A = this chain, B = another copy of it.
Amino acid sequence: MSNPLSALWSARSVAVVGASGRPGAVGRLPIEFLQRYGFAGKVCPVRPDGAPVLGLASYPRVVDCPGPIDLAMILVAADRVAAAVDDCVSAGVPVAIVCSSGFAETGEAGALLQDEIVARARAGGLRLVGPNCIGTVGVAHRQVTSFSPLFAGEHTCLVDGSVGFVSQSGALGYGTVSLAFERGLGLAWVVNTGNEADVSAVEVMVALAAEPGCAGLLGYVEGLGDSTALRALAVSGVPVAVLKAGRSDAGQRAAASHTGALAAGDRVVDAVLRQLGIVRADDVDELLDIGDAFAQPRRPAGPRVAVVTTSGGSGILAADAIAACGLRLAELSPATRSALDDVVPAYGATGNPVDVTATVMSNPGLFDHALDLVVDDDGVDLVVACFCVLTGDDVTSVLDSLARAAERSGKPVLVARTGADHLAPSAAARLRAAGLPAYPTPARAVRAAAALHQVSTRPPFAPASGRPRAVAHRAPDATDEEGLKRLLRAAGLPVPAGRLAQSREDAVAAVREAGGRAALKAVVPGLAHKTEAGGVVLDVGTESAAATYDRLVGLGGGVLVEEMVGGGVEALVGVAASPLGPVLTVGPGGVLTELLDDVALRLLPVDRAQVHEVLDETRLGRLLAGVRGDPGADRQALVETVLAVADLVADWPTGFELDLNPVTVLPAGEGVRILDAAYVAPAHAEWR
């Protein structure tokens, strides 16, 4: 086996450590389930007394089990897990699922115990899933290495499929699995990662992405780890959707800088997932809706959706959802529309949505014809077909038409069926068999279509290696504005001309050097909000330079005299630490930063095209283009500055915040000026 994790769903032999014969015992359930669902591999109960369990011979230790063990489930009390881990190491087991609770989730002592078992596993080459988890399922191998009560359900069946599901949460995870099976969404692989002391959910997803036949992956996660595994997942090209919990929990970072405050918490998660082409679902329903779309075999070539509906109302709801989620209503060709006019009744509609009316449904030939016309239109990438009260007689021919149209055109057809199942009890299974995912409302069908579009049409994520750099820049040792600007200037970044004044007389001289008008700024270590503290005076002439100098010196530091830069569009350009890596942060600057709270984020490194994207994601793009007849600003110079900033910080130790705000963007051809700069060293930039 190339990846030891694959034993989580396709083990040839499983040791169950802590096996028990007592009905309902956690140590009995996986053995019961492996037998009930028909696991064909070897099952070795492990218990000290060696007594048989459910008809199987048991062994005192894992090393006693005959032949190699691919996977061990550890179900003993927390204080006996370390010994079980050692035993697995001795037996050469590649991966163990530690189901036992009593670790980091209970507090300090448990966390130490958890560190201990991970250290032993790592030293012995054993990968460890959990602790505090409910186990895994490989449906094709009928491998239920889990003790979830789901599998004790009288009516529970495993449903074959091509989608994997990985969940940090056990109870919610298996609840979600039960909902997937209930709706007929087959899951080939299920893994619950619990405390993630060693193996993370994202790492499991990377392993699953390499499984033959994997059509897509769904995840419930509470943390994403660093971005390494996440980038590997994106590179795999397998469609992925995650429900990332904790939006509200992410909180705000202590605002050491604007950039730090803006590039925080859930906003980073959103931006990074989008950058990597991973769909973010908002709820369990939506996650499974997307799974249904991944599971059908067709992929849209673009965002143009044709809506075919038997109800005008459903058509409007579909159109609303299309507008809301970034898809487009396809524009049907004149030929298609005119051919539809011959088929669709007068009280229907042949624009898009195409309202064929319920009448057409009872006339299968007409429905078939109308559907063919729509699906064959070159302007259509995907079809959403809406039905309401679908009743027995209508189902067969209509579903056959849909299946044929999808099959023949290769375009995905998603169905919204807004009506009770019992009105056409066979419809759900027929739809699924034909690769026609069905949803209870038009909006849910459209949102699933949007996710399918997002993963189908994005360019494959390629990890940027950054631009070749002549020199590796060192991180600043000074954090005051003057020192920082010297460093920026040395790196070729556009900083206003200026210098520290040595005295009140020198301040006057410096203003004269700057052309007779200058900006004077107090340079006081630790003074974060200079403007509010009265530490910035603009447009100072020679006549008032001395008095201004005196006042600013009174704030307790030096005084920087700089050329005046007037007008222009103010931008914020920053880089902040995040658990996922350093994040480029760009948006409107100056007073607009707080007022608009509008930034675009990207994991570094970035390339020129990405910087252009970033500018257009916020209102900065419109400001640069010019509002109400203003002339446009020097966008090109800003792009080069952002790239230069990204280069500058590429070799800095992680954890810092760099905040350039405002970066004034002058009219086209006149460049940009970094008017203010702040740096927070790694130890002081705090991520919550």
The answer to the question of A200 belonging to the interface, with a C-beta cut-off of 8 Å to chain B, is: no
The answer to the question of A469 belonging to the interface, with a C-beta cut-off of 8 Å to chain B, is: no
Q: Are B248 and A347 in contact (CB under 8 A)?
A: no
Q: Are A628 and B591 in contact (CB under 8 A)?
A: yes
Q: Are B248 and A150 in contact (CB under 8 A)?
A: no
Q: Are A182 and B245 in contact (CB under 8 A)?
A: no
Q: Are A107 and B346 in contact (CB under 8 A)?
A: yes
Report chain B residues within 8 Å CB of A323: 247-248
The answer to the question of A376 belonging to the interface, with a C-beta cut-off of 8 Å to chain B, is: no
Report chain B residues within 8 Å CB of A167: 313
Residue of B nearest to A107 (CB): B346
Contact among B149, B317, B347, B628 for A389, CB-based, below 8 A = B149
Question: Shortest 5 CB-CB distances between A and B: which pairs?
Answer: A169-B313, A175-B388, A248-B323, A172-B313, A171-B311
The answer to the question of A421 belonging to the interface, with a C-beta cut-off of 8 Å to chain B, is: yes
Binding site for B on A (CB under 8 A): 101-102, 105-107, 132, 148-150, 152-156, 167-176, 178-179, 181-182, 220, 222, 243, 245-249, 282-285, 310-314, 316-317, 319-320, 322-324, 346-347, 358, 387-389, 391, 418-423, 440-441, 443-444, 531-532, 591, 594-596, 619, 622-623, 627-629
Q: Are B420 and A178 in contact (CB under 8 A)?
A: yes
Residue of B nearest to A246 (CB): B316
Listed by A's residue number, 16 A-B pairs whose Cβ atoms lie within 8 Å are A101-B347, A106-B346, A153-B422, A154-B422, A169-B312, A171-B314, A172-B311, A172-B388, A174-B389, A174-B419, A175-B387, A178-B420, A248-B323, A283-B317, A285-B441, A532-B628
Q: Are A418 and B176 in contact (CB under 8 A)?
A: yes
Contact among B152, B174, B248, B627 for A595, CB-based, below 8 A = B627
User: Distance (Å) between the CB of A495 and the closest chain B CB?
Assistant: 23
The answer for the CA separation of A562 and B622 in the assembled complex, in Å, is: 32
Report chain B residues within 8 Å CB of A391: 149, 152-153
Report chain B residues within 8 Å CB of A628: 531-532, 591, 594
Q: Are B313 and A153 in contact (CB under 8 A)?
A: no
Report chain B residues within 8 Å CB of A156: 420, 422-423
Question: When A220-B313, A320-B247, A628-B591 are in contact, do A389 and B420 touch as well, CB less than 8 Å?
Answer: no
The answer for the CA separation of A423 and B182 in the assembled complex, in Å, is: 10
Q: Are B346 and A171 in contact (CB under 8 A)?
A: no
Q: Are A532 and B249 in contact (CB under 8 A)?
A: no
Report chain B residues within 8 Å CB of A175: 311, 314, 387-389, 418-419
Report chain B residues within 8 Å CB of A107: 346
User: Distance (Å) between the CB of A45 and the closest chain B CB?
Assistant: 24
Report chain B residues within 8 Å CB of A388: 171-172, 174-175
Q: Are A440 and B629 in contact (CB under 8 A)?
A: no
Q: Are A423 and B153 in contact (CB under 8 A)?
A: yes
Report chain B residues within 8 Å CB of A418: 172, 175-176, 179, 284
Q: Are A153 and B420 in contact (CB under 8 A)?
A: yes
The answer for the CA separation of A189 and B418 in the assembled complex, in Å, is: 20
Q: Are A421 and B182 in contact (CB under 8 A)?
A: yes
Q: Are B150 and A419 in contact (CB under 8 A)?
A: yes
Q: Are B102 and A171 in contact (CB under 8 A)?
A: no
